[in-house]
Chain A
Amino acid sequence: MSRMNPSRMNTQNMSKPLQGMHFFTTALALLGAACGSSPNEERIIAVPSYVDECDSAEPNAPPCFRQVSEPLEAHCGSLDCHGNTARYFRLFGWAGVRMEDAPALPLPSASGTGVATIPAPPAEEPGPVLVPGGEQTTEEELLANYQAMVTLQPEVTSLVLARATDPGELEIISKGRGAQHHKGGVAMRQGDQTDICLTGWFSGIAQPVSPALTADQVAQLQVAREAWTTACQESITLAIIPSEFETEAPIATGGAAPL
């Protein structure tokens, strides 16, 4: 048997066990490489701002989070989908699971960068039990939804907010569009009202107006915000029961016979 020079080895002259070993070691090496973290000296996570005030009289006030949460709840947050605490991405709200106790929640800082921890709220008498399909989504539920959204992919969220990458890179968008496997199927299409509402929010439509903006830029931003607000409102309308179905008799019948 001739001696084999390791530097000249190739898969053709390997025995089958050696081929297997070669494959195994390559796989291990790839796995090791995949698990290794790349150095990242500046890990600053910026997330879209949480704005709880919806009725601000201030002219340049940014849109509130309820404007984006409610369409999301209507399209994705029913009890049999993401309105369920068993889901990796869960949404509280009127369409799905309700928050029984409002826990102490960290709030984003004023800049929308990072998080600041606030002390637990004082213990209060338990309020009435919220039920699915009942009361409007509460502030605590909205905040929990916000946290669920921005912590799904913090790095990508940060890049989207900085306009360094497309919102379609976010799983919440790509799954909703059906571009990635999504058990719930296609919940929105690129460019439709729900898509505009969600991508706009991740892209910073609700960020505070920078003092560096010129008057023209502020005016443009206001126009964009108005269009975005309309899209969000229409998105909710699309999710509610069609009035003709709610009030009229069915035009055709089928399905199960009386038993």
Chain B
Amino acid sequence: MSARVCERMVRSISIYNLGRLASVWLSAALLLVACGDPVPEEKIADLGPEAPGVPVSALHRPGQPCVLCHAGKWPGDAEPTLALGGTVYVYNPNFRCDNDETVAAASVPAANVEVHVQDAAGRRITMLTNAAGNFMLKSSEGEPTYPFWTKIRYKDPSGVMPPVDVAMNTHVFRDGSCATCHQNTLGAESAGPIHLVKDQSSELALTLFPNATPPACPPAPAQ
């Protein structure tokens, strides 16, 4: 090997080229790291597995933050991509369990409740809750312009009762998952589940939803 060829080889491995090579590898590594967002991934993991006997469908995971998985941001996000979604309940104190006095334990899904949205652009959107109390707006149907107001309305099928309207006090500013703020518990950081009926009397709940069955109570802790 001639000295000139050797010199060329040494030059080709100069600091400059090494720097370029390193930057290429660094970019590739960063790209790989950027393929996931650990914050939502941890939150999704905290949600736990699917409930037994409930297939992955529009009925699954009531009360959980829908858009967390149905975000449409990363490869592998759940389909369909949702712009917003949540769950509506009826609170019936008669359904309260002896060993679980939380609000959520006495809440049953409210089906056929209209969920109305009026967004910042003046657009009005109506959704309807399903048997699990879930409602959703697919992104393919249009994204609401934030902030938006919401209210829920239930029309008694028998027509005996006047429509029940419950409006949310504040705007929704940026989170399409209602359950992010309306968690199953009531506390300083949660407004509690979305309730169509939440007064202490069960009369209205029974009138509007006579066929509602109490949720299964959690098993009593072992003595």
Contact = CB atoms under 8 A, between A and B. Distances in A.
A253 B117 CA distance: 10
A240 B125 CA distance: 18
A79 B137 contact: no
Interface stretch (A60-68, A130-138, A142-150, A160-168): A130-138
B141 interface: yes
A188 to B, nearest CB: 12
Contacts of B58: 259
A84 B173 CA distance: 12
Interface string A213-252: 0000000000000000000000000011110011101111
Interface string B171-200: 111110000110000111111100000000
Interface bracket on B: 35 or more
Interface stretch (A3-11, A27-35, A95-103, A117-125): A95-103
A84 B189 contact: yes
A192 interface: no
Interface residues of A, number: 44
B15 A256 contact: no
B136 A250 contact: no
A15 B189 CA distance: 60
Contacts of B116: 245, 250
Contacts of B167: 241, 245-246
Interface string A174-201: 0000000001110000000000000000
B141 A254 contact: yes
A96 B186 CA distance: 13
A21 B59 CA distance: 61
B136 to A, nearest CB: 5
Contacts, number: 127
A256 B141 contact: yes
Given A20-B19, A80-B173, A254-B126, A241 B149 contact: yes
B189 A132 contact: yes
A74 B170 contact: yes
Contact of A258 (B125, B128, B153): B128
B209 interface: no
A36 interface: no
A80 B181 contact: yes
25 contacts: A17-B14, A20-B16, A74-B170, A78-B172, A79-B189, A79-B190, A80-B172, A80-B180, A80-B181, A81-B174, A85-B189, A100-B188, A129-B186, A129-B187, A132-B188, A133-B169, A241-B169, A246-B151, A247-B165, A254-B125, A254-B142, A256-B127, A258-B130, A259-B58, A259-B130
The 10 closest A-B pairs by CB, nearest first: A80-B175, A79-B181, A255-B125, A259-B58, A253-B126, A98-B188, A16-B16, A259-B130, A17-B15, A258-B128
Interface of A: 15-17, 20, 74, 78-81, 84-85, 94-100, 129-133, 183-185, 239-242, 245-247, 249-259
